């Protein structure tokens, strides 16, 4: 009897091992988007003057993008492109959000770039969307755009966001995208709050 019991226990044990080996947990995903970080600013990309062991460790154990490029030279459209996987021009968000500027800052910018000494082209360079009709032009991430966070939620992930949001001022879009909000800075790159 003990031999039969031992055999049954061994079969049960190995069956459980094979079943548990087949259950795969999805990997953790951490997407780090940094403003103004150059290719060789991290030690893992060749910087010998600055030591970045923790971020280097993440890159060594995870994925590193060595052939990537940004789809926009400014932060908000780049973020929109990254989290939607689409060119931001396809949904009309290729310019910076400037609605969050304090009115006094807008006046100073306008005065500076539209003064008699300056040409109007100056403000068009700084903020190409400054003279556009705001009722028909979108600078926020539209709620209709599907984000990587929404796709990950469908696969059972809990999503969160820490840091500079800079995609929309709409709390609805933000709630749709994220489950867990730890710290959020809802401000444009140079906004005065």
Question: Is 65 inside any structural domain?
Answer: no
pLDDT at position 71 is 74
pLDDT at position 75 is 77
Q: Which domain holds residue 161?
A: 73-193
Strand, coil or helix: 104 = helix
Question: Is 13 inside any structural domain?
Answer: no
Considering just the CA atoms, what is the radius of gyration of the chain in Å? 25
pLDDT at position 148 is 87
Structure tokens at 54: 């923790």
Question: Is 58 inside any structural domain?
Answer: no
d(CA 91, CA 167): 13
The overall average pLDDT reported for the chain is 68
Question: Is 172 inside any structural domain?
Answer: yes
> For the segment 100-125, what is each residue's pLDDT rounded down to a tens digit?
445 665 666 566 555 555 444 444 44
DSSP state of 143: T
Low-confidence stretches of the chain (pLDDT beneath 50): 99-101, 118-125, 180-193
Structure tokens at 187: 């401000």
Question: Is 163 inside any structural domain?
Answer: yes
pLDDT at position 53 is 92
pLDDT at position 29 is 84
pTM, rounded to two decimals: 0.57
Question: Is 56 inside any structural domain?
Answer: no
pLDDT at position 110 is 63
Domains identified in the chain, total number? 1
pLDDT at position 109 is 59
Question: Is 77 inside any structural domain?
Answer: yes
pLDDT at position 145 is 85
Question: Is 102 inside any structural domain?
Answer: yes
């Amino acid at each position: 009897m003990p031999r039969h019991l031992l055999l049954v226990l061994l079969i049960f044990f190995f069956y459980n091992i094979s079943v548990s080996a087949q259950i795969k947990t999805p990997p953790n995903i951490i997407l780090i988007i940094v403003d103004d970080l150059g290719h060789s600013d991290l030690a893992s990309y060749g910087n010998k003057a600055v030591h970045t062991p923790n971020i280097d460790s993440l890159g060594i154990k995870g994925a590193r993008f060595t052939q990537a490029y940004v789809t926009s030279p400014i932060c908000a459209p780049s973020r929109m492109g990254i989290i939607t996987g689409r060119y931001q021009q396809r949904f009309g968000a290729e310019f910076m959000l400037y609605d969050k500027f304090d009115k006094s800052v807008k006046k100073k910018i306008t005065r500076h770039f539209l003064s008699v000494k300056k040409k109007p082209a100056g403000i068009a360079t700084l903020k190409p969307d400054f003279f556009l009709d705001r009722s028909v032009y979108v600078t926020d991430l539209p709620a209709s755009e599907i984000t990587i966070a929404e796709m990950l939620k469908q696969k059972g992930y809990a999503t969160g966001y820490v840091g500079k949001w800079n995609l929309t001022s709409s709390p609805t879009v933000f709630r749709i995208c994220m489950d867990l909000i730890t710290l959020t800075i809802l401000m444009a790159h140079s906004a005065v709050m």
